[in-house]
Amino acid sequence: MAGPRLANYRRAAGLLECRIGVECMGWRPSPYDVGLMAATTAHRIAVIGGDGIGPEVTIQALKVVRAAGVNIDTTDFDLGGARFLRDGEILSDDVLNQLRAFDAILLGAVGTPDVPPGVIERGLLLKMRFELDLYINQRPFIGTAPGHTKPHDFICIRENTEGPYVGEGGVLRKGTPHEVATQGSVNTRMGVERCIRYAFELANKRERKHVTLVHKTNVLTFAGNLWERAFNEVAAEYPHIGTAYNHVDAACIYFVQDPHRYDVIVTDNLFGDILTDLGGAVSGGIGLASSANLNPARTGPSMFEPVHGSAPDIVGTGKANPTAAILSAALMLDFLGETQAADRIRAACADPVSGNTVEIADAIAARIKG
């Protein structure tokens, strides 16, 4: 490497050093310098392929990201059910600290039939959400629901670190006729409000500018009242944004009968988990559903994953559709500031592609390259 190209690389390296300091003695980078840094530095991505079809779809997603011209530097982490069965590792504090150093995490799928339910979910997925403060789960839904001719376009914002998932509860007299089990739902004002505020900020950037709160306030009167009061107080700060409230059971009906009523939905952890699976079902299938687990404060990396599971029954058959993983990678690029590349990926995924796992990704990559 010589001449202007070497000079550019050296200049970029110097600019990166300046970013570590404080304004580098009053000097600020020009737009050219900013572009140069973006062109010559790679986003550091931790890749957790996981179990089943997870590694198959993440490989294809990364191929499409690179086809979109984004410079990424990936590091693979062997985590999931298979790793747990091998040596007991789920997500140690040491590995968690390693993950903190990355710009983002791309996950395929985790879980294997040989591991009891809850072991990987709580030990890996929930631990990452709690420890990395991934308090927003964002899932977009674009498609045409069965029985409809008009496409819908809405986003579900799910609080991702509280509710019943924190594990508050316990068991007494287990295995006896008098067994007692409790499972609490933990909702804090801070956690609820920051999630609601994120939903309003998101709606403010969208054309329709509308937010719907989904809960069960008529039965869950304590948590529901907290959510309702926080929602109304935040809404007062955004008078130009329309609002609505649906009970969660009514929302399930509307997802099927009238999904077009929604723009941005905000809800708690459990209701969001259920609703977003239904959202995938009415938007082309769970195999197309993408998700982002976000730390909007950027105090650590955010994590991106397809909604589908590990599907161990089709591993190695080529039947796994990588589109959900590819769209999840597009959400990752949005968060990393690579919005143009993300838009190109979504446009390339808009029309259905047939073929096996590799052929689908190759066709999407070809569309991006033109």
Find the helix packing angle between 54-67 and 339-349, rounded to 10°.
Answer: 120
Give me the residues paired with residue 166 across strands.
none
Question: Residues with Cβ < 8 Å from 148, sequence gap 6 or more?
Answer: 259, 260
* Contact by Cβ (8 Å): 105, 134: no
Could you say which DSSP state residue 27 is in? -
Cα–Cα distance measured from residue 64 to residue 342, given in angstroms and rounded to the nearest whole number: 10
* Contact by Cβ (8 Å): 111, 310: yes
The pairing of strands 152-159 and 264-267 is: parallel
Residue 103 neighbours by CB distance under 10 Å: 17
Question: Residues with Cβ < 8 Å from 370, sequence gap 6 or more?
Answer: none
Question: Sign of the C-alpha dihedral, residues 63, 64, 66, 71?
Answer: negative
Cα–Cα distance measured from residue 108 to residue 32, given in angstroms and rounded to the nearest whole number: 36
Residue 263 Rama label (left phi>0; alpha psi -120 to 50; beta): alpha
Helical ranges in 132-210 per DSSP H = 189-204
- Give residue for tokens 């919005």: 339
Nearest to 321 by CA among 367, 363, 282: 363
Residue 288 neighbours by CB distance under 10 Å: 21
Cα–Cα distance measured from residue 141 to residue 134, given in angstroms and rounded to the nearest whole number: 20
Find the helix packing angle between 54-67 and 323-335, rounded to 10°.
Answer: 50
What is the set of active-site residues? 165, 216, 249, 273, 277
In one letter, which amino acid is 330?
Answer: A
